[in-house]
Amino acid sequence: MAFAPMGPEASFFEVLDQHRASLLAALKRGGGEPAGGGTHLASSSEVLASIEKVIQDVITSLARNEAPAFTIDNRSSWENIKFEDSVGLHMVSHCTTRKIKSDSLKSVKNFALILKILSMIYKLVQSNTYATKRDIYYTDSQLFGNQTVVDSIINDISCMLKVPRRCLHILSTSKGLIAGNLGYIEEDGTKVNCSCATAVAVPSNIQGIRNLITNGKFLLIVEKDATFQRLLDDNFCNKMSPCIMVTGKGVPDLNTRLLVKKLWDTFHIPIFTLVDADPHGIEIMCIYKYGSMSMSFEAHNLTVPAIRWLGLLPSDIKRLNIPKDTLIPLTKRDQMKLDSILKRPYITCQPFWRKEMEIMADSKMKAEIQALTFLSSDYLSRVYLPNKLKFGGWI
């Protein structure tokens, strides 16, 4: 497909091109993607065999007059999480587990729900059909109670069977958006061109998209939909062409994270985040870059440690003389979140991040990206981002 760049002169991208060269050199030194990169995508027959083994274990326990139980890796303990700069947060090979027992009042319902969803997954895989998490919830909304219960059980099953969630033939409805210099073909053969004036929804089956094409010099991850839409309105993708923009509309869903990972694996172009200068924004950036505790069992498929923090940096607030009355005091919850992030293992290898967070902690203030509009309504797209990209203002 053809793209018509309208962006700046080639010299604008010199620092970006140097950054990309250093990323590629680092990959080469590390022998390509990190060892173990990309969890094995189990075939349908392997998934069916794994489910059959789980059910066989249940039957064996019953035959012995024992109460069956499911053993699942404990995803809520930092003891089970290992940090590697090349992968992010991932589970250790021999981690502590928890048991979901069928003879315990506390866990018997969860045991029954896991069995029910396992049977649904088995039918989906066997018939080569797909369902969304929402579809599964609505098969018996009274039994499940709420969508969160279904989401948690599906993650538990994925962790227990040691297969990525998409191999279970369960999809989630995407909330993310993508725009800019990118084209691809969806699983059903639909050709998608993201260079149109409006954004395109992130596909619900990232595994199925193919023939990706871009001339993009960089990918910008935007924390909030409002900022993303403002950049679209300001024609940012064309002014900075060729580039790609993505938003997960806050905390990213699995599909948005999978797409960012796929774009990195396919093109190895620089990826930057634009988030609020607050603990919540930093947390979101960390999820894209290093992953989360709850999804650490699938880290190799989701994390992109090459991501850099472009803005809004706490140091930018002082540097740009953003007025104090546009800043917001940190709440007690913000301070707890900030303290929690500062204690995480990956901060030791990010001294510049630590410095920025310490600036925030000392000032006891946070700022939204919208604070830049005080300088001018289009300051973000006209001055702030172009200068950051041209002169290498990322960390």
Computed over its alpha carbons, how large is the radius of gyration of the chain? Answer: 23
- Residue 200: partners with Cβ closer than 8 Å, 6 or more residues away: 177, 178, 179, 192, 194
CB 27 within 8 A of CB 33: yes
The CA-based angle 313-317-323, given to 5 degrees, is 155
Q: What sign does the dihedral 252-334-84-304 (CA atoms) show?
A: positive
8 Å CB contact between 268 and 233: no
3-state secondary structure of 292: coil
Instruction: Supply angle C-alpha 340, 149, 256, rounded to 5.
Output: 60
Residue 275 CB coordination number (10 Å): 25
Element (H, E) at 256: helix 254-267
Please confirm whether the linkage preceding 312 is cis (ω < 30° from 0).
yes
Catalytic residue numbers read 138
- Spatial separation of the C-alpha atoms in residues 61 and 372, rounded to whole Å: 63
Residues 6+ apart with CB under 8 A from 389: 12, 15, 16, 218, 240, 272, 310
Report the alpha-carbon distance of residue 24 to residue 26 in Å, rounded.
5
* Range list of β-strands (E), 279-342: 308-311, 328-329
d(CA 24, CA 350): 20
- φ, ψ of residue 121 in degrees (nearest 5): -60, -45
How many other C-beta atoms are found inside a 10 Å radius of the C-beta of residue 123? 12
Of residues 329, 318, 323, 236, the one with CA closest to residue 274: 236
